[in-house]
């Protein structure tokens, strides 16, 4: 199944995997789920809602040649942006907290 992902340049759908390997759909989906759960693959959604599995480990020779040491690596901007969104907001100061509690009590 990994060979099929490589042949498809690291991008494939579950149906393509079935067609190329002749394994049942559920077995292919199970494999793809294991790959995404382990971080070896990512799920992208195509324009028509099709799930496309991306295996970022398949790099071009140029990408391998220009790879940097771990200490100098920074995530791509889109990953930095998604991390920024996931940050927890600062805690409320005591005056805001009490007014929020009072408002929630009024609604009950």
Domains and CATH numbers, the chain: 1-59 (1.10.10.10)
CB atoms within 10 A of CB 41: 23
The answer to whether the CB of 13 falls within 8 A of the CB of 31 is no
36-82 confidence digits (pLDDT tens): 999 999 999 988 899 999 998 888 788 888 888 888 878 777 655 55
CB atoms within 10 A of CB 35: 19
Calpha distance 88→21 (Å, rounded): 44
For residue 96, pLDDT beyond 50:
no
Q: What percent of the chain has pLDDT over 90?
A: 46
Calpha distance 6→11 (Å, rounded): 8
- Cα dihedral 13, 14, 15, 21 sign: positive
Work out the mean pLDDT of the chain and round it to a whole number: 79
Q: Whose structure tokens read 């060979």?
A: 3
Residue 101's contacts (CB-CB under 8 Å, 6 or more residues apart) are: none
């Amino acid at each position: 199944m990994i060979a099929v992902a490589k042949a498809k340049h690291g991008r494939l759908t579950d149906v393509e995997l079935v067609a190329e390997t002749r394994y049942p759909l559920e077995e292919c989906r199970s494999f793809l789920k294991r790959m995404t759960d382990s971080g070896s693959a990512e799920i992208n959604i195509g324009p028509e809602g099709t799930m496309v599995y991306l295996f970022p480990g398949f790099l071009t020779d140029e990408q391998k040649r220009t790879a940097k040491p771990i200490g100098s690596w920074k995530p791509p901007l889109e990953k930095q942006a998604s991390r920024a969104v996931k940050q927890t907001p600062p805690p409320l100061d005591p005056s805001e907290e009490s007014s929020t509690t009072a408002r929630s009590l009024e609604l009950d």
